[in-house]
Amino acid sequence: MIDKRLFQLPGVKSLFKLLAGLTLLQAFMILLQASFLTTALVNSWKRQPLATLLGPMFAFFIALALRHGLTWIKSRLLDRFATQTSENLRQQLLDQIYTNGAQLAASQGTGNLVTVALDGLDEVDNYLNLILSKFMNMMIIPWVILVYVFFQDVTSGIILILVFPVIILFMIILGYAAQAKADSQYAEYVVLSNHFLDALRGLTTLKMLGLSKRYTKNIYQVSEKYRQKTMSTLRIAILSTFALDWFTTLSIALLAVFLGLALMKGSLPLYPALVTLILAPEYFLPLRDFAGDYHATLNGKNAFTQIMELLHLPTITNRQQLPASPWQADSQLEIKNLNFQYDPRTASANLQDLTFSLHGFQHVGIIGPSGAGKSTLLQTLSGFLVPQGGSIKLNGHSLDHLAQEEWQKQFAYLPQNPYLFRATIADNIRFYEPQASEQAVAQAAAQAGLKTFLASLPQGLETVVGEGGRGISGGQAQRIMLARAFLAQERRVLIFDEPTAHLDIETEYALKQSIVPLMEQHLVLFATHRLHWLQQMDYIIVMDHGQIVTQGPRATLMQEKQGPFFDLITQMRGDF
């Protein structure tokens, strides 16, 4: 019912001890409260002088106040613990996302990660707050009451102890049903988050293709499915609360009948009968509270489980295997039998047994049909994805992966889908060189062909772009990415994943005039669908279905009159 990992959280053990002490005190307050109230009632039943009622009534109010005071202290303690813990978890989750970001986003979905890091943690806060105190109440209060009742009347004690396991069994059965429903509800929530973010990101494309209306329907269907799952979880939760209330009320009524009969027979004095009856609802209350809140916090439990799973995913380690040694004319990167798979449950690898070597300031073109694995290869070479197998040797150093701090300082990476941070254009260009002067930034922007665009903006380089900033076209974003590479020229490796995919042919040709000189004295890895770039390459890797189908110097491949390179080039000419 409770995630066991909850007990491994830092500080939870001492909090548990403190809560146990306070709950025990609270249980005694409940006993005192019931006892003083009963005394006052018995005295008034026996027509004792009013003065004999005042003492017990006063003591009753003191016990009542202390009981609620203890509840307040407990809730403050829990509140502090829950806030602190969810803050810690948020920090750990962000660290995990920063360390394994690309891989995590690829396997879990960005929408899902964002939802977990925001809403999920709030749910966890709520879960910790409620479940810990309710659990403690359920573990202590009924038993203290039961012992006291046994001392008052053994038959009542036996009735109470007999109905307890029945209720627990009942709770477990309904709990399992609710858990199954909540699991599928949460899974649907994850789908919805990913779906929504994907739709938001692709809105421009969808509009361009005239598909936005059809997609609205799609989003509606996913949210509708989520609504149905939520309603069916709520149905079980409401049903179980109702059933539990009904069952406990019935048990109290049954107890009342037994006590009434005993009173009529005269086998039980008024005090023990009355105190048992007053205590009976208190005996069931922690159980009902736990069950009620258990259903209310199922989402929190699911979010907690998911966060713990995310935190326990293998993290990228050994990031400092490589000593600082900038890429030079005699540098070498050897890759043998490299394998990578996004989802190990799928049948085929996304990169399969890739073997090649790169050296010096080679210009390497990576071509292949859509889905061949070009971007996956570039992301693995950039260290954003960690391969599951193969050997990597960089300048003679054997490495587990290329997520090496020193390697990542040496390249400029231009992704297929540029992402701009919410910042000024100048700061976006300074990505690799935060200290670059204004003049250097302006020069890099001009080299990337941004001059006319910047001149049309009242604030020029200081215009804020990115989320909530000024809108920007795909081509302009790609030029900002290019400007980053122009600014960071001492990074001797350029990893370009279709850097001109969003540009029209004329603009691409114009920009090519500046990109070509930039490539000099650089190792260039260039994935492209555009044939004319091959003239700038001196080595070509042809990929298909995650494999290298052929590779070699461009001049050699160009002479082939058949084979994978020839076929692809013929096809690309047709596409071009």
Contact set with ligand ATP (CB under 6 A): 106, 342-343, 350, 368, 370-376, 416
Q: Which is nearer to ligand ATP, 232 or 416 (CB)?
A: 416
Question: 32: which residues sit within 8 A by CB, 6+ positions away?
Answer: 59, 60, 63
Q: Which is nearer to ligand ATP, 385 or 442 (CB)?
A: 385
Q: Nearest distance from residue 531's CB to ligand ATP, in Å?
A: 14
Distance (Å, rounded) from C-alpha 413 to C-alpha 526? 10
DSSP code for 5: G
Distance (Å, rounded) from C-alpha 125 to C-alpha 279? 32
Q: Rounded to the nearest 5°, which phi and psi values hold at 527?
A: -90, 130
Q: Which CA distances in Å does 372 have to 251, 426, 541?
A: 67, 35, 11
Q: Nearest distance from residue 496's CB to ligand ATP, in Å?
A: 12
Q: Nearest distance from residue 326's CB to ligand ATP, in Å?
A: 28
Q: Nearest distance from residue 485's CB to ligand ATP, in Å?
A: 19
Q: Which is nearer to ligand ATP, 377 or 487 (CB)?
A: 377
Helix 51-108 × helix 121-152 angle, to 10°: 150
Q: Nearest distance from residue 373's CB to ligand ATP, in Å?
A: 4
Distance (Å, rounded) from C-alpha 253 to C-alpha 257? 6
Judge contact between 43 and 53, C-beta under 8 A.
yes
Q: Which is nearer to ligand ATP, 197 or 285 (CB)?
A: 197
Q: Nearest distance from residue 169's CB to ligand ATP, in Å?
A: 44
Task: Give rounded-to-5 percent helix, strand, coil for the chain.
Answer: 65, 10, 25
Q: Which is nearer to ligand ATP, 31 or 372 (CB)?
A: 372
Q: Which is nearer to ligand ATP, 368 or 418 (CB)?
A: 368
Q: Nearest distance from residue 248's CB to ligand ATP, in Å?
A: 50
Q: Nearest distance from residue 466's CB to ligand ATP, in Å?
A: 23
Q: Which is nearer to ligand ATP, 100 or 297 (CB)?
A: 100
Question: 156: which residues sit within 8 A by CB, 6+ positions away?
Answer: 149, 255, 258, 259, 276, 280
Question: 496: which residues sit within 8 A by CB, 6+ positions away?
Answer: 414, 524, 525, 526, 527, 528
Q: Which is nearer to ligand ATP, 286 or 499 (CB)?
A: 499
Instruction: Please choose, from the candidates 326, 333, 331, the residue with its C-alpha nearest in 3D space to the C-alpha of residue 391.
Output: 333
